[in-house]
Chains A and B, each alone.
Chain A
Amino acid sequence: MSFQPIKFYQTGTFTVGNRLLAPEERSVQASAKRFNSINSGHRACQGCGEALGARYAIDAAMEATQGRLIAANATGCLEVFSTPYPETSWQIPWIHSLFGNTAAVASGIAAAQKVKMKKGERRNIRVVAQGGDGGTTDIGFGCLSGMFERNDDVLYICYDNGGYMNTGVQRSSATPPAARTSTTPAAGAEPGNVFGQGKYLPAIALAHEIPYVATATVADLRDLEAKVRRAMEIRGARYIHILVPCPLGWGTAASDTVRMARLAKETGVFPVFEAEYGEIKSVLAIRHRLPVEDYLKPQKRYAHLFGKTPRIDVIARLQALADRNIRKYGLLGKEAN
């Protein structure tokens, strides 16, 4: 891991006041000189994980490129809440084209940039593409895979909240099993999203053997910043998949967004790792292993599992999936082994 985790023993958490850190170790957001790439005043819901994740990610990318960054954005919550004309939260050059073509649009920008550089008409400018899980794992998947295999100089960031929240919480291929959405309702014998479907895009990104793939959550924002910084040090196709809880879609309290992200990581539901050229280089270890129930219970999208007769069988299957993640990615770290 390219950042130094600092344990603040008085509170028992890994968070620490920036004032206590050396300046170079402070987070980008802690600086008054941060870029504010997404300015305040946008229309995201209270507690929006995507807004938080994007703010940290894009400011970190801006810091890494000294402000020479262009962003391409898929249709979705981030696009809608950050703009309608004539207002825009974006303090950086930003383009929205379509729902399913963001990676290709970014490839085009990168190609233009390469030519302009060669001609000496422009200085070095980097490109970031961003979209939600629907725009990334479903409708934008073809263009994303194309960008990956060509190894275009683009950092693609997926903000994964497990569904099409912008259109009213429908299922995507990133919606977890058993979760209730508008198109996988909590009805019938097997309520919620079915088991055995869906795809885990970070693994697919790994299979492309691109220079850099990482996952992150909005619970470990310094880790997220470090990963963006690392990604911007590398040329070629890069992918960061960020878990961003959605209070609206998940049925959680707005104040619980960061807690939910932490629980996803601590239960093993969402593995946090970093990989280069198809090989996992490090994982963010679980500190206090928790049962998946602790993650599921606060979310209304899983409420049907905790009714009069709790669905112990379904919870067990979800636990088994988390256990598999823990095994597969070695999430308990060296100490636990």
Chain B
Amino acid sequence: MFQVRIHGRGGQGVVTAAEMLSIAAFEEGRHAQAFPSFGSERTGAPVVAFCRLADKEIRLREPIMEPDALIIQDPTLLYQVDVFAGLKPDGYILINTSKTFAELGLSDFVASHLPERLCTVSATELALRHVGRPVPNVPLLGGFAAVSGIIRLESVIKAIRVKFSGKVADGNIAAATEAYKIVRNMMESAHA
């Protein structure tokens, strides 16, 4: 079982991101369970959503306390919420920012993690460019597909088509695809 925890703020599509990740896994014939951290919905408040992916039925209903991957939709949360709590030592981290981990002041933290599993991407910028709204959730899923290889980009695109239609879907697909390419390139140049 692979467990993903997504952190963001109300209005950034955190819950939708977890749901889309589960739909993408479903499209690949796998089992998936997505659920939000339940609470009153307020724009701007810290929000957490979860997604479990597995090849058999998922029965577990506890919140994800030891995630295999973290998607952080808003870097300001780094200084407000213990977003890294419970992350496995070999876990993935994807942060929506134009800065590097070092610039975010996370050098010490990342030193103990696998560098090829840590990644940043300016998803808000991509969303603004392709969708016209600062909603970073979907491009981050594209980036997540690239960094983790857990899910295919085509599956993410299918999930986008399930959740959105028309121009919004097209914009999100373009944003997710570009995020995927950016992350791929970053990883290849890091290994080159």
A and B touch in the complex (CB under 8 A): no
